[in-house]
Chain A
Amino acid sequence: MVKRLTDYIKKQGGIFAKGGIDVMFFAFLMLIVVVGLVMLYSASYVYAYYKYEDSSYFFVKQLRNTLIGFVLMLVFSKLNYKLFTDIGAIGGTLLSWMLLMLALIMPAHNGTHRHIYIGGFQFQPSDVAKFALILTLAAILSKYHNVIVSKKPLQAPLAQRLNSTLGRPFFNDSLKIIVPCFGIIGIYCVLVLAGSHLSGTILMLSIGLILMFLGEVRGKWFVGGGAAAAAVLFIASQTNLLKDYMEERITSWLDKDFDPLGARWQINQALYAIGSGGLFGKGLGQSTLKHLYVSEPQNDMIFSIVVEELGLVGAALIIVIFALLIWRGVVIGVNCPDRYGALVAMGVVFQVGVQVILNILVATDSVPNTGISLPFFSYGGTAIIVLLAQMGFVLSISRSSRIRR
C-alpha cells in the first residue's frame, strides 16, 4: 500500500514541485490582492459602521480569510500539482457535490440555499465546486485526450446507422468522453441552480465550456452541448422560483425607470457612483455613494465605488492588471509541459476573467443584474480562500512551466 503510494508519487515527480515560481504572475496577483483589500475597506467602512458599528468589520474578516488563503496558496504552490490529478477529480467532485447537496437541505437564507452554516461560519460550496469542476475536467480531458481527438467512428448501433446515413463518421469515439463530461458539467450546474444561484450556474457552465474548448473538444459538440444547456436553463427558468426572480431582473434591466426605490435602487446608485467618478475619480475614500446609497457596497457592486473613487483611469488600470494576470496565467498554461497543468492553469485564470467581466458588465448595467462577485475585491470568505488556493495551484504549475525568461 505504502509502496504503491510512493511509486505513484515517484511516478508523478515527487511530493514537492521543483523550480521557481513565475514571479510576474505572483507580482500581478499580489498587486490585485492588496488593491482589492484597500478598496474593500474604502467601500465598506460606512456600511460596516452603520450595520455593526465597526468600520473595519468587513475588512478585518476579509483580511483574516486572505491570510488563510495565502497560507493555502503557499502550500499548494509548493506541492506537486500532478499529485492531485485523480484525487482532485474524484475527491473534489464528490466533496463539492456533497457540499452542494448539504447546502440544499440547510435552512434557506434570503430565500436561497447557497450557503452552509457551521457554528457561526458560513461557507459557499459553489466556490469550491468551481475549482473542483476545473480539476475534474482538466483530469479527464488530459487523460483521455487521444480519445477526444480520435476520428474513429463510434461503435454504438445507433451511431453506426446515423454515420452511414450521413456518409461520414460524424459520431466518433470522442463522444465516449464528451458526453460524460457534459453530464458532469450538467450535474454541477443543476446542483448549483437548485440552490437558486443563477449566477453560480452561469459561471459553472462557462468554466465547463471553456475547459472543454481548451481540451480540444470539436466545435460541433458545443452546438449540441449548448442546446442542451439552453434547454436546461429554459426549463429551470420556468419553475416559479426562478421565473419571478429572473423576470424582475430582466424587467429592471430593460426598463430603466422600473421601481427606482426597489429593484433598480442598487444599480441606479452604482451608475450614479460610476458617473460621479469621472476621469480621475474623487480620490481614495472620497466616495459619497458608499454612504448607504449603494446597497452592500462591499459585495457585488464594489466596482462602482472603485470607479467613483479612482475614476476611469483607476478602473482601467485595475482591469489591465486583471488582464495581465490572466495573460500570465495563460502563458504559464501554454508553456506547461503537461496538458493537465495547462488546463488547470488556464481554467483558473479564465474563471477569474469570466467573473471580472460579468461583474463589471453587471455594475455598468450592461447585462441584467446577477450576483457575481469581483474576485479579490468583493467581500466573501470562501471565495477569497478558494481563489488564493487556486492561485497556489497556478504558481505550482508555473514552477514546471517552460517560459522563456
Chain B
Amino acid sequence: MAKTKNEMKSSSLTARRGVILMVLIAALAFGGCIVRIAYLTLVKGESYREKAEAQQLSVTTLEAARGTIYDCNMNVLAQSASVWMVYINPSKVTDDNRNDVLTVLCENLHLDRAELTEKIAAHAESNYLKIKGEVEYAEKTALVDAIYANKLTNVIFIDGDTKRYYPNGSLASTILGFTGTDGNGLYGLEYLYDEVLTGTNGRTVTAKDGVQFELENAYEVTYDAEQGVSLQLTIDSEIQTILEEALANALEETQAKNVYGIVMNTKTGALLAVANLPDYDPNDPYGVLYESLTAYFEENGTETEKADPVAAARIEQWKNKSIADFYYPGSVYKVFLVSGAYEEGVINDNTQYTCYGTITVGERHIKDFYTTGHGLETPCTLLVNSCNTFAVHVGQMMGAELYFKYFQAFGFSERTNVDLSGESSPAVGITYHDPDVSFTYSDLASASFGQSIAVTPLQIVTAVSAIGNGGKLMQPYVVEREIDFQGNTVSVTEPVVKRQVISERTASTVAGWMEKVVSDGTGKNAYVAGYRVAGKTGTSEKLGSSDTAYIGSFAGFAPANDPEISIVIIIDEPRGANYSGGVIAAPVAGEVIERTLQYLGVEPTYTENDISTMTIAAPALTGLPLAEAQEKLNGYDYTVRIVGDGETVVAQCPESGRYTPVNGVIVLYTQQNLEKEQTDVPDFTGLTVYQANKLAVNSSLNIRISGSGADESSVVAYKQDVEAGAVVESGSIVTVSFRTTSGVHD
C-alpha cells in the first residue's frame, strides 16, 4: 500500500501536464473533424449531392420510331428498322478477359481481330468505345448470347439504334432525300418533314450503381416516346418507275448532263412522279451513282469543282433540280403566250399571220428555225409549227403589261409552294419582275418564245396543267396524308385551286391546238396510239455557258379532252446532233404517257391509223391439239410457223398474253424437247414502221412499236431494245422505238 502511495506521488505535475496536453490535442483534433464534416455536409453538401445524383441517374432514351414514307398505294418508300450499336468499356478489359472480349466481338460482328486489338489498346484508359453500329437483329442476338456465356456483361454493351432503309434504292431519291447517321433528315422530304417524321423521344430515368447496373427497387420514371408520323405520298412507285426508266434511257442516249421529268395529276396538282437523273441511292447517299456526273465536273466544273469532282457530283445528285433549277422554257412558253393573247382577245380563231421566216423588232432580226417561213398561219399553226416570228408578233401585240399579267397568272413569278424541300424562289433582279423597269420590245420578243425568262420544271408542268384543267391553276403537292403510328389519319391534303388563270373556253381551245402539235406538229414524237396527247415542244439555248448548250423539253397532258396526267420532260445539255425537244424529249414523254395511262387503266380509243400498228395479246395455244390451235388462229392475222411433227402444241412463242403486232409471228412447237428455233435480230434503225414490220416477220420476230407509230416516211426507227446481230428465239418480241426528225424542230 505504501509503495503504491509512493508511486502515486511520483506521478508528478509534469506528467499530469503532459496528459492534459495530450487530451487537449485530442479534443481539438476531434473538434476539428466535426467542423470539417460540418463544412462538407452543410456548406459543400449541395454541390456534392448534385454531383452524386448526376452520376447516379441513368437516362435511357426511348427512341421514337421514325415515320414511314409510303407511296400512294401504301408501298414503302422509306422505313426505319431497329438496329443495334455495340460498345465496350475498355477500362474493364483486363489481361484475363481480353482474349474472350476479342473473340466474342470478332466472331459475332465479323471484325478484324488485329485491328480491334489495336483499337482497344489505344483506348485502354477510357470508359467508352464504339465497336460497331447498325448491327442487325440476328447478329445482335448471337452477340448477346456470347456476352452472357463469357460473362462479359460489364465489358460489352448493346444499345438500340435505328437505320433508315429505302427498299427501292434510288427510286424517287431526289424527293425522298435521306437521313444522317443520327437519324435526322438531311435532304428532301426527310428533311422537310423531319419534325413530323421524327416524333418525340421518350426517356426512362433510373438510378444506377457505380458499375452501371440498374438498382433494384430504385425509382424509375418513364416518359413515353411519341412515335413519328408516317407520310403517304401522291407519288406512285409504278409511274415513278416508268418515268425513271424512260429518263434513264434518254440520259444514256443523249449523254445529257441532266434529265428531269414530272408527272402530275392534271386536275389535282398531285405529283405522281418526280425524277431527276443522275440521282443517288439514299441507302448510300455519299456514294456517287453516275460516273458521268463526276466526269462532267472534271471537264466542265469550276476550279473548286475540278479539284474535287466527286464532292461536286455528290451535292449535284442530291438536288431536286426539277424544283430547284431554273431554265429557259423556250417554245413551250408559247402555249402560255397564246393562252393569254386569246383570253384577252388579242388573237382569236380567225387571226392570220404570214411567216416569212424572220421578223424585225427594233434593230433586231429574229429568225425562225424554219428560215424559209411557215407562210400563212393561224394561232393553231403558231403552236403546231412552233413559229417564232408569229409568237414575237403576238407578244408585240400584247405588250409587256399583258405579257406579264399572264406570266404572273400562270405562276411563274412565285413559288408553287409545293411541299418539297429546296424549291427556289423565282430569280430576283431580273427586269421583268420589276414593273418600274421598262421592258424593251427586244426583251419582250425573246420572252415571247420563252428565251430569257427563267422558270422551274415544276412551274411549267403546273402551268400546263392549268390549260388541261379548264384554266384552273392548282398548287402542286406530294404528301397525300399524314398517318399516325396506329394508322389513324392525322391530316389529308386537299387539292388547292390557286386561281382561274384563263377561261375554260380559252383552255379547251388551246388544249385542242396542243393536241394538233402532237398529232401533226413538232410534238409528233410524243404521239401515243390510242391516247390523245396534247403538248408542246421547246428548245432553248442556255445562255451564259461558254459553249452553246441546249435544253430540249416537252410539256403536255393526256388524254387531251379529259386529262389525267400532265408531264414535263427536260433534257439538259444533250450531246450530239439532236438537241431539239421534239426529237429528244417528246419520245420520252410519249413513252411515259403511254405506259402511265395503260397502268392507270385509261381506256384507249384508237384511230384508224392506230389500228394498223396496234398490238394484241397472243392467244393461249399450248396444250391444244394442233388442228384446234390452227382453227383458233384463223381469227388472227398471225404468220404461223409450226416446228415438229407432233399432233399437239407443247409450246408457243410468244407465250400467251404477250403483246404482239396484230400481223406478227407465232411459232408453235408440237414435239417435246425440241430445240427452240433461233433467229438473228436484224438492224431496224432507219426503217419506217411498215419496213420494220416486214423485216420482223421475215426474221420470224415480233416488234413492239414504241413512240410515234405513224406510218410515214419521216418516222423511222432509232433504237431497239435487243441489239442487231443478237440471236433470240423465233417469235420473240423486240421493242423498236420510232421517231421523226423532220418537222419537229422549233
Contact = CB atoms under 8 A, between A and B. Distances in A.
Interface in B20-50: 22-23, 26-27, 29-30, 33-34, 36-38, 40-42, 44-49
Interface stretch (A183-191, A227-235, A284-292, A378-386): A284-292
A276 B48 contact: yes
A338 B34 contact: no
B37 A307 contact: yes
A39 interface: no
A277 B41 contact: yes
A290 B355 CA distance: 98
Interface in A279-299: 279, 288-289, 291-294
Nearest to B215: A291
B304 interface: no
Nearest to B54: A272
B511 interface: no
A214 B207 CA distance: 52
A293 B56 CA distance: 9
A106 interface: no
A170 interface: no
A59 to B, nearest CB: 19
Interface string A308-330: 00011001100110110011001
B22 A214 contact: yes
Contact of B33 (A261, A311, A360): A360
A287 B49 CA distance: 12
Contact of A279 (B36, B41, B46, B215): B41
A218 B95 CA distance: 57
A91 interface: no
Contacts of B201: none
A27 interface: no
Given A214-B15, A361-B33, A364-B37, A291 B26 contact: no
Interface string A250-274: 0000000000010000000101111
Interface centre among B29, B40, B45, B55 (most CB of A within 10 A): B40
B51 interface: yes
A338 B45 contact: no
Contacts of A210: 22
A356 B30 CA distance: 9
A150 interface: no
Contacts of B215: 288, 291
Interface residues on B, range: 35 or more
Contact of B41 (A50, A312, A333, A337): A312
A48 to B, nearest CB: 14
B18 interface: yes
Contacts of A319: 30, 33-34
Contact of B45 (A213, A214, A278): A278
A292 B211 CA distance: 6
Interface in B175-189: none
A46 interface: yes
B657 to A, nearest CB: 72
A43 interface: no
B30 A323 contact: yes
Contacts of B4: 337-338
A213 B23 CA distance: 12
Interface size class of A (residues with CB under 8 A): 35 or more
B48 A307 contact: no
Contacts of B55: 272, 293
A339 B30 CA distance: 27
Nearest to A359: B33
A274 B26 contact: no
A18 interface: no
A346 B7 contact: no
Contacts of A73: none
A167 B652 CA distance: 139
A276 B52 CA distance: 7
A322 B30 contact: yes
B155 to A, nearest CB: 16
Contact of B210 (A292, A330, A361): A292
Contacts of A291: 56, 209-210, 215
Nearest to B15: A216
B371 interface: no
Given A337-B7, A366-B36, A323 B26 contact: yes
A357 interface: yes
A124 to B, nearest CB: 25
B41 A278 contact: yes
Contact of B11 (A339, A350, A356, A364): A339
A303 to B, nearest CB: 9
B437 interface: no
A333 B15 CA distance: 12
Contact of B40 (A274, A338, A357): A274
A301 interface: no
Report which residue of A50, A275, A289, A339 has the largest number of chain B beta carbons within 10 angstroms of its beta carbon: A275
Contact of A275 (B26, B29, B52): B52
A36 interface: no
Contacts of A315: 34, 37
A334 interface: yes
Nearest to A291: B209
Given A288-B207, A292-B210, A275 B44 contact: yes
Contact of A330 (B10, B23, B40, B42): B23
B14 interface: yes
B12 interface: yes
Interface in A144-186: 145, 149
Interface string A348-373: 00100100110011001010000000
Interface string B46-84: 111101100110000000000000000000000000000
A342 interface: yes
A37 B158 CA distance: 40
A13 to B, nearest CB: 10
Contacts of A360: 33, 36-37
B456 to A, nearest CB: 58
A330 B19 contact: yes
A293 B209 contact: yes
A3 to B, nearest CB: 23
A378 to B, nearest CB: 16
Which among B8, B11, B56 has the highest number of chain A CB atoms within 10 Å? Answer: B11
B56 A288 contact: yes
10 contacts: A214-B18, A214-B19, A216-B15, A261-B127, A271-B44, A272-B55, A311-B41, A319-B30, A337-B8, A361-B36
Given A275-B46, A293-B210, 16 more contacts: A216-B18, A271-B44, A275-B47, A278-B42, A291-B56, A291-B210, A292-B211, A293-B55, A307-B37, A312-B37, A323-B26, A346-B22, A357-B29, A360-B36, A361-B33, A364-B40
Q: Which 10 pairs of residues, A with B, have the shortest CB-CB distance? A: A275-B48, A292-B210, A291-B209, A272-B52, A293-B210, A360-B33, A337-B4, A275-B45, A357-B29, A292-B209
Interface of A: 46, 50, 145, 149, 210, 213-214, 216, 261, 269, 271-279, 288-289, 291-294, 307, 311-312, 315-316, 319-320, 322-323, 326-327, 330, 333-334, 337-339, 342, 346, 350, 353, 356-357, 360-361, 364, 366
Interface of B: 4, 7-8, 10-12, 14-16, 18-19, 22-23, 26-27, 29-30, 33-34, 36-38, 40-42, 44-49, 51-52, 55-56, 91, 127, 207, 209-211, 215
